[in-house]
Amino acid sequence: MSSPKFAETHNVVAFFENPVESDGFAEIIDFLKASLVHYALTVNPIIYTSCIKQFWATAKVQIVNGVHQLQALVDKKRVIVTESSIRRDLQLDDAEGTDYLPTATIFEELTRMGYEKPSQKLTFYKAFFSPQWKYFIHTITQCLSAKSTAWNEFISLMASLIICLATNQKFNLYKYIFDAMVKHLDGGVKFLMYPHFLQAFINQQLGNMSTHKKIFVNPFHTKKFFANMKRAGKDFSRRITPLFDTMMVQASKKVGEDSDYLTDSTQIPIIDQPSTSSKLKKKQPSKKAQR
């Protein structure tokens, strides 16, 4: 069996700048800046390939005092990941949230978002939403989903997260991430899941890892991303469905509370070309721009 590799379209780092190409997306960008998952979407430590490979090569599920843990060795030192450590390290204020919405609620809320492909199936397609909703869905799935391909599709569990964010409900994202990592391990590690999340966990527990030299530069969205979101899918009516009123209130409140919010120096600059490991090594953000 070949050794697991990085999936360059998985766990992408989001950026929330406002270039000319983002015209028409300001409302959803402001909402995501104000959301409970903003840090998880944008955290971007330097990823040392050997750290991530060591973690997945040695990871095991253990139960300690009734708490499930993922334990691994990095440089012969123990790294422990739990639901609570994920909440802490990704700054997720989602305690006592929901794990999963009822099926009827999922269909009802997706219809309110303008979804145009009614079906009883629990697989949904972002192409049947108007541009701002499509941007929202794609950003959440590509940045936070456990899968590594087929970004046009999302399942009911991811729909629950998307709906909870849009309706200002708490969703247990920390549990989703932990369960996904356990399932990934149980099924045999086929790709190196959640690299920039894992590096953040490792740094928190082991400190400076700069003795490692080989770097994987996590990909992030490019200017072309906006053009793709504006492109109407086959059989889509092009009808525009506005964001929920509660989403607009959330974004306005957060931005109003922090006058420096839109000029956060930690935001990643937008690049013109799709990112790959080889190209981005030459364009890696400065240390000042790292989380």
Q: Which letter, b or e, does each residue of 1-23 get, where b requires 16 or more Cβ atoms within 10 Å of its Cβ?
A: eeebebbbebbbbbbbeeeebbe
Residue-by-residue DSSP string for 62-76? EEETTEEEEEEEETT
For the record, the structure tokens of 164 come out as 């909870």
**Residue matched to tokens 């697991």:** 4
Phi and psi of 147, rounded to 5°? -80, 170
> How many C-beta neighbours within 10 Å does residue 129 have?
24
3-state secondary structure of 8: coil
What type of residue sits at position 249?
Answer: V
Count of alpha carbons within 13 angstroms of residue 65, beta-carbon side:
1
Q: Give the integer Cα–Cα distance in Å for 7 and 3.
A: 13
Measured torsion, CA atoms of residues 212, 187, 148, 180, in degrees rounded to the nearest 10: -80
pLDDT per residue as tens, the chain (291 positions): 578 999 988 999 988 877 666 788 889 999 999 999 999 999 999 999 999 999 999 999 999 999 999 999 999 999 999 999 999 999 998 778 899 999 999 999 999 999 988 777 899 999 899 999 999 999 999 999 998 887 889 999 999 999 999 999 999 999 999 999 999 999 999 999 999 999 999 999 999 999 999 999 877 766 677 777 877 777 788 899 999 998 997 666 665 555 343 333 333 333 333 333 333 333 444 444 343
